[in-house]
Amino acid sequence: MKSKPVVLAILLTALLAIMVAVALSVGAVHVQIRDIIRILMSYIPFFDQQVSTAYIPKSHETIIMAIRLPRILLAGLVGCGLSLSGAVLQGVLRNPLADPQVLGISSGAAFGAAVAISFGFTYSAFGLGGIAGAAFVGALATIFCVLKISFSEGKSSLIGILLAGIAISSLLTSAITMIMVLDREKLEKVYMWMLGSFSAASEMRVIFMLIFVVLGLLAILPLSRALDLMMTGDDSAQSMGVDVEALRKWMILVSSLMVAACVSVSGIIGFVGLIIPHVVRLIAGPRHTRLLPLSCVVGAIFMIICDTLARTMAAPSEIPVGAITAILGAPYFLFLLARSARKGAIR
């Protein structure tokens, strides 16, 4: 039994590598997988002396390294961040239907982006354009508002956190609607941003996301056992030495920062943080030592698949990736909702 998680991790990692190779090969210009391997190896020290890319068209190398690889890496990192955040929030809120959007972070990012689009912000910093930067700031502001409202004198209420997120999300959604109505010329641009896309992927955005995902993993994974204890109830976890309030606040803050980074570079992509942790629980169990890292891998696989479908199904046009995740995720969400109702978890 102890080898099962290891075997599962190896299989999922292999599947991720296969999906990256397939995604790199498909598109308006088909590139052979053997050529992709040679191109990638030519950029790795030592291996660059062992392979020849002389027969591969330079245009193929440009397509792989400058266009497809940054986009695929960004999609994988966003999928990883959203899935990890979803698994954490479902644990600390003890709500199997919670996801990163429940705290209003996506609405905050959308509001920031809508303001940037409406006023035509064009600055750039740390590889992020004006829209992405404003989305990140909007998401951060929403996080701190929710934490300020829901944590009083160091104590929190699970219902209070959820209600604060829902209330702020509703308020910001109304504000976004007002912006779209008052500035109809920018309406389509705001709407398309809100549907999510990786078309603006770049090396700097990949690095930006990589920093947040790595730091998020380093901050969350060592606390996996404490998350398991929190699932048994606050009193029980407290009796086992867990500082429940501090841990809950820390986990919400870290996961929210990852979601803010994800939304700022890709727009709003729903259902990933909801359905991926549930899928991983079905195949690996509820223990967070397994759930969190495997959610990252499965989330990356799922997002790469969705982005590949988004850019190839209606080529040369592109379908917003948020629409693909919604088509795949909404039926599963309804299934979870119906199952929870049957079990009496929803009254």
Q: Is residue 347 part of a domain?
A: no
Segment 24-47 mean pLDDT: 89
* Domains in the chain, number: 1
pLDDT at 214: 96
In the chain, which residue ranges form alpha helices assigned H by DSSP?
A: 3-25, 33-41, 58-62, 69-92, 105-119, 130-150, 158-182, 187-195, 203-220, 224-230, 234-239, 244-266, 272-284, 288-312, 321-342
Residue with tokens 């820390």: 250
Residue with tokens 């910093």: 125
Q: Is residue 300 part of a domain?
A: yes
Residues 67/72/74/77 CA torsion (nearest 10 deg): -160
Cβ pair 300, 244 in contact under 8 A: no
Supply the CATH number for residue 336's domain.
1.10.3470.10
pLDDT digit string, tens, across residues 288-324: 999 999 999 999 999 999 999 999 998 788 899 999 9
Range of the domain at 233: 3-342
pLDDT at 347: 45
Segment 77-106 mean pLDDT: 88
pLDDT at 221: 94
Res. 158 pLDDT band, cuts 50 70 90? confident
pLDDT at 82: 95
Cβ pair 230, 237 in contact under 8 A: yes
Res. 193 pLDDT band, cuts 50 70 90? confident
Q: Is residue 91 part of a domain?
A: yes
Question: How many Cβ atoms are within 10 Å of 68's Cβ, its own excluded?
Answer: 23
Q: Is residue 10 part of a domain?
A: yes
Antiparallel, parallel or unpaired: β 124-125 and 155-156: unpaired
Question: How many Cβ atoms are within 10 Å of 192's Cβ, its own excluded?
Answer: 15
CA–CA separation, 3 vs 290, rounded Å?
12
Could you tell me the end-to-end alpha-carbon distance of the chain, in angstroms, rounded to an integer?
37
The pair of structure tokens assigned to 280 is 């991983």
pLDDT value at 344 more than 60? no
Res. 124 pLDDT band, cuts 50 70 90? low
Tell me how many degrees the CA angle 214-144-291 measures, rounded to the nearest 5.
40
Which pTM does this prediction carry?
0.91
pLDDT digit string, tens, across residues 263-284: 889 988 988 998 999 899 988 8
Cβ pair 130, 116 in contact under 8 A: yes
Average pLDDT, the chain: 86
Cβ pair 183, 102 in contact under 8 A: no
Of residues 75, 15, 77, 67, the one with CA closest to residue 36 = 67
> Amino acid identity, residue 75?
A
pLDDT digit string, tens, across residues 38-74: 999 888 888 777 787 888 889 999 999 999 999 999 9
